[in-house]
Amino acid sequence: MTSCDTRASRFLDHLEHQRRLSPHTLDNYRRDLRRIAGWMADHGIADWPHLGQAQVRDYVAWRHRRGASGRTLQRELSALRSLFRYLMNEGDAATNPADGVRAPKSPRRLPVTLDADQLDHLLSLDDDTPLGRRDAAIMELFYSSGLRLAELVSLDLGDIDLEDATLQVTGKGGKTRRVPVGRTAREAIRRWLALRGRLATLDEPALFVSARGGRIRPRTVQARLKRWSSLQHAPRAVHPHLLRHSFASHLLESSGDLRAVQELLGHADIATTQIYTHLDFQHLAQVYDQAHPRAHRRKG
């Protein structure tokens, strides 16, 4: 066993017995370090302390040319940094050559969406049972207002104002925002509310309840959407984020107003929030009414 292998083995033992990392994580560390060590051997670098920052950059460039993604290289650099932190603590290395080296960014994958025609077909449910009306209202609201799954299941009856066509949403970090609710979604919610009492317990405040009468659970929503995507012959399995992505994509395509869409989605990024806090609700509602395929408010 070479000194390079010996140092890596001691480091892996430390991760297993001192830091108690999972076998899966240990396998990732072992595989990544073995790959880097193989490259070092091919380039005449005998041991870890002989590895410099320039060589680390060369390794990253070599891996990237061979098709490694930015995420993979980020993980490998993380393993290398951890190894050198250990070696420095043990007195076996003076510096950490992976510090300051960044992985190339991978192209961001665009979210999958359904087009307007596919959504119209999906949302044309022919089921007047309480569960059918509930599911229709849920899907309409996802697409109408771009909600996250956690936001939808946490809605209470008092959060929605059907007359004002608005919804108070509690998003990540407990932050609240007000979003418009389209006409078709409001009609679906009214139809659901007419039958909600058949399922809900008397003291249940949730807008959407399960067959047992309590607040609906996220897994139930996911399962019901998957069921309807099959029954309606959707081109792919439907999940809450697919409807949220479709909402954002269609609104942005029609309006071109990225800031308004970001505000409606309730993105938690600090810079984004600072930019959009000055947008007033009337502007957001106007963009929504003009652009969303199923909005088109009607007075009266």
**Over the stretch 74-123, which tens digit does the pLDDT of each residue have?**
999 999 999 999 999 999 999 999 999 998 886 655 557 788 899 999 99
Strand, coil or helix: 37: helix
What local confidence, expressed as pLDDT, does residue 91 receive? 94
pLDDT grade for 293, boundaries at 50, 70 and 90: confident
What DSSP character marks residue 172?
A: G
Indicate yes or no: pTM above 0.85: no
Question: Of these residues, 29, 59, 276, 288, which one is catalytic?
Answer: 276
Catalytic residue status for 148: yes
Sign of CA dihedral 245, 249, 255, 258: positive
Catalytic residue status for 172: yes
Is there a contact between 209 and 160 (Cβ–Cβ < 8 Å)? no
At 234-267, the pLDDT tens digits run: 998 899 988 988 887 777 677 766 777 777 877 6
- 168 sits in which H/E element: strand 166-170
Catalytic residue status for 241: yes
Tokens of 121: 């077909």
Cα–Cα distance, 165 to 181 (Å, whole number):
5
End-to-end Cα, the chain, rounded Å: 82
Domains along the chain with CATH numbers? 3-89 (1.10.150.130), 116-291 (1.10.443.10)
Q: Which amino acid does the sequence have at 179?
A: V
Chain position carrying tokens 């697409």: 143
Question: Of these residues, 85, 241, 259, 294, which one is catalytic?
Answer: 241
Catalytic residue status for 175: no
Question: Of these residues, 7, 186, 196, 244, which one is catalytic?
Answer: 244
Cα–Cα distance, 229 to 248 (Å, whole number):
20
